[in-house]
């Protein structure tokens, strides 16, 4: 800051009152500046407030001290111009306040001669806000994607690059035009002039209109003009923006044309069509759908699809709708029942897709519905007819079977009865009847063979159970199963290395796998994934599971899945015996079957089978009781506890056992047998029991004997190959099938006692 002598303004030749009025009390910041030295002679209170210096400090400064560094370069030229110019001068510059803040100011200077000295009075106007606004305007306007213009006195004051480019010019060419509208065709200029006249006569300051013009190269252009009048430096100016709508107008025209075609196709379609909201409200329906359901279009748009859907189909429809809205499926098809306005049922083949926002939010669903009521009625009538035919065929087959069995058994009974009668007569006469007894034995063998055929027909065939690794069965069957399911289905296995062995028929386990995999494949007509897994649990069982990601089942279907002849497949594509066969095999093997399924999420069928446990594992198994040798130290004996509810069979078995040299204790049911064993436990070496009996069957008897510590062999007898009418005997026990011979019974009992070291 340059130090200058304080000027005594009181020595100047002007009236003090005038000085106060035109300078000291002037509302605008003002200085008196020496014309030769550029020193500030005096400053008023407004200048003091603006710059943050006291008047005494300002009076010791030169005008250079107020200039911002970036404005100093132009100061000398400004001062030189002032020295030769006697009139008033106006210019823009940038000053500094005492705290370093910059001020954009407009300076108005006026020459004066006071007391023989040439001075200039400088009035300062702070234009910082205006400059910032102009800078912001220019920055935004230069980068704007819409055209921007300012017209004053019929000339462009400002044109941004986008506006010039929009019409095919450069900014310089547009600004150089003597009249802005000369860039446009004559008819367009006339339209703009007409609108300008209307605008000037209107009280509103803003205008908005669309305009069709051409570019510099003759290409058509559609624009929207937004303009307003404002005061610019004391004169009226027009400021506006121009938006290029050429593409939008073309797109709108194409959309209107597309919508017109869509409305025509939608309204005139012979198939029912509808647009529905995500919550199910009908937004738009065509006449075919109204005719199908008996409602008017106005009535339909006041309803939801749920309200006109048959109650039994609502849950399935909503589940599919929700999966569609979540994006899990691109669309869905289903046959569903609608409720007509008159209460009748209308069957429809429904196809639904969804329209989404760019961000994936569902906007609405498009549904097409074809009335298939007549077809469904015809199918129902055909199904009923075919069901009646199948029932008649089944009854005919059963009748033929029963007739054949009755014929064969009558023949066998004739042979047995006649030979028994002859043998009885010969015995009374003291003669031998070896030939007759031989014929009886032969007839019995033929009867047993016939019984085995009946058991095979009823899927209760004689098993060939043996210890087998369940993992090996899966691994060996995997290649065959891959060929079976086709290339569009992926087959994976997840086998527990600790799964262990089971006692089962290998062929039946393979049949279980094949049935479950075929069912899984049929549930995925468009391909999918099947996983076969094994898992050992902590209760001495192993689970064999087949999982698919197919269509799944609803609760009603799952409840009937094991019923023989029940199938959801089309006629001719399923017998309805797949899962019922799996269930029967699992029961025969001492296991069980469970199903977990959900619509659209797949199905898992799990077969659990008891493991073949070692002695150590049996001791650790929670469901096994400790084995106690209650007869340890007892004298050896050869007594057999015979348990059979049929007197004739019991008498024959007793005779055979007595002839074989055993002592026999007889019981007609499991409860009596349990009591007799408690009375003769020290003598009994083996239990020979029927599987199915009143009060207590053979299976329960065996379990009760084990619970009370009877560590003796148990040999089951059964007319059914698997041991009982509704299930299986315990896995791992011995079974002899009725009818049996004395030799077979002798060998089986002898083998069991030999294993225990009792012979």
42's tokens:
């005096």
The residue-averaged pLDDT of 542-557 equals 90
Mean pLDDT of 427-455: 69
Helix axes 698-707, 670-680, angle to 10 degrees: 30
pLDDT (0 to 100) of residue 643:
94
pLDDT reported for residue 277: 92
Question: What DSSP assignment string belongs to 300-335?
Answer: HTTSBTGGGB-HHHHHHHHHHHHHHHTTSSSEEEEE
Q: Is the pLDDT of residue 318 over 90?
A: yes
User: Which pLDDT band holds residue 533 (cuts at 50, 70, 90)?
Assistant: very high
Q: Residue 349 has what pLDDT? A: 92
Partnered with residue 298 across adjacent β-strands are none
Question: Measuring CA to CA, which residue among 347, 351, 394, 397 is closest to residue 374?
Answer: 347
Which distant-in-sequence residues (6+ apart) come within 8 Å of 664 by Cβ? 639, 640, 642, 654, 657, 658
User: What is the three-class DSSP state of 370?
Assistant: strand
**What's the mean pLDDT in 381-389?**
78
CA atoms 74, 76, 79, 85: torsion sign: negative
Q: Is the pTM of this model over 0.95?
A: no
> How confident is the model over 15-44, as pLDDT tens digits?
445 565 567 777 889 888 887 888 888 899
Report the pLDDT averaged over residues 710-733: 67
DSSP-derived 3-state class of residue 503: strand
* Lowest mean pLDDT segment, chosen from 275-289, 482-496, 581-595: 581-595
User: Residue 106 — pLDDT band, cuts 50, 70, 90?
Assistant: confident
| Residue 364: pLDDT over 60 | yes
User: Mean pLDDT, to the nearest integer, of 538-544?
Assistant: 85
User: What's the rounded mean pLDDT across residues 512-527?
Assistant: 86
Element (DSSP H or E) covering residue 241? strand 235-244
pLDDT recorded at residue 728: 41
pLDDT of the residue at 4: 43
Which range, of 62-66, 278-282, 630-634, 687-691, averages the lowest pLDDT? Answer: 630-634
CA pair distance 331, 533, nearest whole angstrom: 32
Burial of 311 (0-12, 13-18, 19+ CB in 10 A): exposed
pLDDT tens, position by position, 302-311? 899 999 999 9
Q: Which stretches of 486-532 are DSSP H helices?
A: 506-522
| Spatial distance between the Cα atoms of 745 and 758, rounded to a whole number of angstroms | 17
Q: Is the pLDDT of residue 228 over 60?
A: yes
pLDDT at 724: 46
Question: pLDDT at position 18, please?
Answer: 53
Using CB atoms within 10 Å of the CB of residue 364, give its burial: 0 to 12 exposed, 13 to 18 middle, 19+ buried.
Answer: middle
Which range (101-115, 200-214, 659-673) has the least confidence?
200-214
Can you name the residues that pair with 102 across neighbouring β-strands?
Answer: 96
* pLDDT for the residue 635: 29
Whether 210 has a pLDDT exceeding 70, the answer reads yes
Summarize pLDDT for 653-667 with one digit per residue, the tens: 888 898 888 999 999
Predicted confidence at residue 177, as pLDDT, reads 74
Rounded mean pLDDT of 222-239? Answer: 78
Q: What is the mean pLDDT of residues 710-731?
A: 67
Percent of the chain with pLDDT over 70: 78
In this prediction, residues 367-374 reach a mean pLDDT of 91
Does the pLDDT value for residue 352 go beyond 60? yes
Average pLDDT value for residue range 233-250: 80
Q: Which one has a higher pLDDT value, 276 or 136?
A: 276
Count of CB atoms situated within 10 Å of the CB of 143? 10
- Of 718 and 413, the one with more pLDDT: 718
Residue 601 scores a pLDDT above 80: yes
Cα separation, 62 vs 48, in Å, equals: 15
Whether residue 550 has pLDDT greater than 80: yes
Q: When comparing pLDDT for 149 and 297, which is higher?
A: 297
Confidence of residue 623 (pLDDT cuts 50, 70, 90): very low
Helices (H), 62-178: 75-84, 128-143, 161-166, 171-176
């Amino acid at each position: 800051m340059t130090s200058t002598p304080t000027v005594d303004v009181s020595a100047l030749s002007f009236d003090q009152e005038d000085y106060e009025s035109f300078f000291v009390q002037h509302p605008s910041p003002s200085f008196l500046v020496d014309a030769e030295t550029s020193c500030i002679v005096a400053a008023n209170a407004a200048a003091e407030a603006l710059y943050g210096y006291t008047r005494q400090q300002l009076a010791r400064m030169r005008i250079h001290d107020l200039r911002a560094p970036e404005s100093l370069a132009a100061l000398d030229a400004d001062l030189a111009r002032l020295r030769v110019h006697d009139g008033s001068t106006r210019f823009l510059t940038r000053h500094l306040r005492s705290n370093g803040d910059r001020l954009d100011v407009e300076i108005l200077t006026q020459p004066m001669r006071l007391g023989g000295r040439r001075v200039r009075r400088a009035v300062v106007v702070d234009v910082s806000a205006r400059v910032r606004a102009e800078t912001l305007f220019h920055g935004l306007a230069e980068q704007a994607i819409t055209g921007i213009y300012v017209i004053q006195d019929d000339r462009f004051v400002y044109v941004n690059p986008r506006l010039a480019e929009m019409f095919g010019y450069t900014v310089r060419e547009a600004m150089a035009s003597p009249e802005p509208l000369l860039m446009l065709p004559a008819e367009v200029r006339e339209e703009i002039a007409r609108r300008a006249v209307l605008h000037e006569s209107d009280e509103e300051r803003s205008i908005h209109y669309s305009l069709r013009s051409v570019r510099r190269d003759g290409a058509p252009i559609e624009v929207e003009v937004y303009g307003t009048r404002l005061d610019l430096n004391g004169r009226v100016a027009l400021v506006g923006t121009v938006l290029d709508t050429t593409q939008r107008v073309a797109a709108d025209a194409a959309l209107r044309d597309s919508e017109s075609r869509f409305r025509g196709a939608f309204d005139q379609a012979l198939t029912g069509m509808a647009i529905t909201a995500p919550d199910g409200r009908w937004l738009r329906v065509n006449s075919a759908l109204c005719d199908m359901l008996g409602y008017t279009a106005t009535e339909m748009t006041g309803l939801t699809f749920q309200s006109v859907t048959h109650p039994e189909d609502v849950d399935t429809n909503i589940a599919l709708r929700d999966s569609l809205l979540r994006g899990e499926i691109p669309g869905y098809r289903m046959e569903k029942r609608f409720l007509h306005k008159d209460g009748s049922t209308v069957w429809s083949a429904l196809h639904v897709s969804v329209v989404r926002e760019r961000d994936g939010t569902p906007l609405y669903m498009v549904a097409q519905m074809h009335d298939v009521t007549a077809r469904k009625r015809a199918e129902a009538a055909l199904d009923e007819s075919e069901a009646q035919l199948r029932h008649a065929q089944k009854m005919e087959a059963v009748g033929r079977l029963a007739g054949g069995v009755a014929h064969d058994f009558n023949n066998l009974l004739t042979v047995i009865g006649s030979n028994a009668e002859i043998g009885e007569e010969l015995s009374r006469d003291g003669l031998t009847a070896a030939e007759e007894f031989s014929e009886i034995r032969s007839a019995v063998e033929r009867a047993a063979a016939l019984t085995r055929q009946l058991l095979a027909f009823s899927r209760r065939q004689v098993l060939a159970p043996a210890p087998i690794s369940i993992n090996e069965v899966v691994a060996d069957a995997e290649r065959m199963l891959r060929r079976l399911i086709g290339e569009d289905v992926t087959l994976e296995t997840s086998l527990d290395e600790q799964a262990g062995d089971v006692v089962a028929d290998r062929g039946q386990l393979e049949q279980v796998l094949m049935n479950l995999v075929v069912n899984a494949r049929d549930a995925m007509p468009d391909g999918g994934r099947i996983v076969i897994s094994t898992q050992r649990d902590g209760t001495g069982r192993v689970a064999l599971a087949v999982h698919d990601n197919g269509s799944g089942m609803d609760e009603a279907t799952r409840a009937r899945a094991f019923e023989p002849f029940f199938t959801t497949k089309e006629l001719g594509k399923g017998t309805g015996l797949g899962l019922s066969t799996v269930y029967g095999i699992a029961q025969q093997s001492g296991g069980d079957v469970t199903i977990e399924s959900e619509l659209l999420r797949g199905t898992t069928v799990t077969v659990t089978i008891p493991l073949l446990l070692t002695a150590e594992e049996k001791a650790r198994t929670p469901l096994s009781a400790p084995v106690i040798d209650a007869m340890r130290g007892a004298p050896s004996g050869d007594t057999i506890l015979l348990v059979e509810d049929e007197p004739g069979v019991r008498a024959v078995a007793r005779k055979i056992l007595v002839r074989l040299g055993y002592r026999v204790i007889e019981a007609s049911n499991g409860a009596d047998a349990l009591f007799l064993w408690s009375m003769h436990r020290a003598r009994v070496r083996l239990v020979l029991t029927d599987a199915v009996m009143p009060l207590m069957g053979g299976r329960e008897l065996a379990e009760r004997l084990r619970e009370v510590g009877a560590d003796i062999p148990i040999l089951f007898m059964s007319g059914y190959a698997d041991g009982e009418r509704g299930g299986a005997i315990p896995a791992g026990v011995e079974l002899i099938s009725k009818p049996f011979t004395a030799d077979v019974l002798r060998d089986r009992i002898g083998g069991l006692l030999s294993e225990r070291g009792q012979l």
